[in-house]
Structure 1
Amino acid sequence: MIAITNPATLGLTALLFFIAIFGRYVLFSLAFWWLFNVSLKDQFAHRAVQTRPRKAGQDWREIGWSVLTSLLFTVLALAVILAYQHGYTAIYTNINSYPIIWYPISIAIVLFIHETYYYWLHRWMHRPGVYRWVHKTHHDSITTSPWTAFSFHPTESTLQAIIIPILTFVLPLHLSAVGLILLIMTLSSAINHLNTEVYPHDFDKHWLGRWLIGATHHSLHHTQFRFNYGLYFTFWDKWMKTESPDFHRLFGEKTKKGVNNE
């Protein structure tokens, strides 16, 4: 991890982190957009979940909000680095500091806590007195795309992002595990906002697939508002009965053509 010893190093570190965070968003967004809108367009055209055209200038508005989101993520990353340097976090760099089994377990714990935190935060953000000021920016994108993944009002960005830094203070996490968690977060968000269902037919009934959120699941949240509040997984929506009653039907419709063509 970079040692920050003076203002120049701090500035350089901030720049590098911003490039990494915003660059990761751009890389994933461009890759998914090109793959399913250019390279595999004919094979996946029928899998577009929401057929309503995107608004004029929507891509650039989403990218603009995503720049602010990336700046906020950069500030939080710098705060964690500074805290680590002063020995305040539980981040470790020696893989042998804990039993190797702790590595996957720690990631699973973080994902579960993050999912739980986000689900209830998300429901709170849909309260009438909160939605307009915090969450509406994201929902201005009714028809989503990978560019929507980081398109949040700064207040929402901060509320969403704060949980991972907090966990680094109380839960031992290897430095690479933190990076892997952030990679999973970006990948999942890009897939969920793709508006093209990438999972195979009947995956929504598979022992694993039934717990994973994809484009169909999250697109329904952007159009129906009252359902599908999860981030990575569907279990809170299932437990709290907030999963859209249209999900399985729509998933089947969007993935059935590929089965018939095989």
Structure 2
Amino acid sequence: MIQISGPATFWLTALLFFIAIFGRYVLFSLAFWWLFKVSMKNQFAHRAVQTRPRKPGQDWREIGWSVLTSLIFTAIAMGVILAFQAGHTRIYANLRAYPLWWYPISIILVLFIHETYYYWLHRWMHRPGVYKLVHRTHHDSITTSAWTAFSFHPIESTLQAIVIPALTFVIPLHISAVGFILLIMTLSSAVNHLNTEIYPRNFDQHWIGRWLIGATHHSLHHTQFRFNYGLYFTFWDKWMKTESPDFHRLFGEKTKKEVKSVE
């Protein structure tokens, strides 16, 4: 990890982190937009979950909110770096510092805790008073796209961003595991907001697929509001009976035609 030795190094590091965070968002969003809306448009046209047109200028509004989100993520990341440098976190750089079996377990544990935190935070953000102040910005995107992935009010961005950094103070995590978790977070958010179902037919019934959130699952949250609060996984929605009763029917409708191979 970069050693910060003065103001110049601090601000250079912050700039590099912002470029990495915002650039990762742009890269994933552009890649999914090009792949499913341009390159393979005909093959995936029937898989658009919501057919309602997006609002004029919606892409640019989402990108604007995403810039603020990336700045907040950068500020929190800088705090973690300074804490790591001072020896306050449990991030480690030597892969042999812990048994190798701990590496995947630590990632699974963090994803489970993050999912749990987000599910209950999300339900709280749908309380009327909180929703108007914090969460309405994200729900301005009724028909979502990959650009919606980071489109949050700054308060929501902060609430979302604090959990993984907080866990680095209590759970030993290899520095590459932290990066991998953040990569999963960005990839999952882009897929879930794509408004194009990319998973294969009957994947919602598969022993793995039934636990993973995709575009159909999350799009129903943006249109129905009171269902499908999960982030990566469906288990809290299943356990708390908050999964939309329309999910499996809609998933079946959107995946009933198999995607033809690209010549």
Same fold (TM over 0.5): yes
* Shorter-normalised TM range: over 0.9
**Percent of matched pairs sharing the same residue:** 83
3-state SS of the aligned residue for 2:5?
coil
**Corresponding residue for 2:129?**
129
Q: Structure 2 unaligned runs (5+)?
A: none
What letter corresponds to residue 233 of structure 2 in structure 1?
A: F
How far the C-alpha of 1:173 sits from its partner, in A, is 0.1
Give aligned pairs, total: 261
CA displacement 1:12-38 (0-9 Å, x = unmatched): 000000000000000000000000000
Q: Output aligned runs, 1:1-262, within 5 Å.
A: 1-258=1-258
Deviations 1:98-152 (A, max 9, x none): 0000000000000000000000000000001100000000000000000000000
Runs of 4+ aligned structure 1 residues displaced above 4 Å come to: none
Q: Work out the CA distance in 2 between the residues paired with 1:237 and 1:51.
A: 25
Residue identity in the other structure for 2:231: L
Q: Which amino acid aligns with 1:17?
A: F
CA distance in 2, matches of 1:93, 1:210: 35
C-alpha displacement at 1:214, in angstroms? 0.1
Amino acid of the structure 1 residue aligned with 2:139: H
- 1:210 Cα deviation from its structure 2 partner: 0.1
In 1, the alpha carbon distance for the partners of 2:10 and 2:91 equals 20
- Secondary structure, in 3 states, of the residue corresponding to 1:256? coil
AA partner of residue 7 (structure 1)? P
TM-score (structure 2 length as normaliser): 0.98
Q: Deviations over 1:233-257 (max 9, x none)?
A: 0000000000000000000000001
Q: Residue by residue, what CA displacement relative to the aligned partner does 1:162-194 show, whole Å, maximum 9, x if unpaired?
A: 000000000000000000000000000000000
Query: What SS does the corresponding residue of 1:250 show, helix, strand or coil?
Result: helix
Paired letter, 2:115: E
- RMSD of aligned alpha carbons: 0.8
